[in-house]
Amino acid sequence: QAAQTVCTLKVMKSIAASLNAQFYLHAGSHLGAVIHGQIIPWDDDVDGFIDYRKKDELEQICEGEGVEVHPSGVRFKCIQAFNALKVWLHYPGMEKFTGDTAEWYSPFLDLFFYKIEDGSIWEVSPTGQRLAQNYIIEDYFPTRPYYFAGIYLLG
């Protein structure tokens, strides 16, 4: 599943760029990049961060069956769950490992949103409501590329 996770990250990075947005490693995945240069072995997902102003455009891409990203039928899909979007690449005949109640498939990205307000970067819910997590802008930016499981991502 590690190779599929890297593919999902590459597609996510490209889709973010198509929206004129940056995709950042976040939370445990940022830590994994800094310490291990890869996914933390016990983590079940990858955490990403994207500007909340791009949420609607991103959800349009994910509408319905998502968007085809490979002629073999692989599709980029996402759904809102909890405080993030669950993002994954879905291929025909894909086996489900996330349990019966989860609508998303594994491996997946937890894509969190942020807003810059009052001199801080605030993590916000998919509805735009501020959450407790916030960072002083100068502590977060400027970002830099981190080697992460074979590719470079900002964090």
Measure the CA–CA gap between 44 and 39, rounded to whole angstroms.
Answer: 9
Which pLDDT belongs to residue 39?
Answer: 63
- What pLDDT does residue 35 have? 47
List domains and CATH numbers for the chain: 2-154 (3.30.460)
Residues of the chain with pLDDT under 50: 35
pTM, two decimals, is: 0.87
b/e burial code for range 25-46 (CB count within 10 A of at least 16 → b) = bbbbbbebbeeeebbeeeeebb
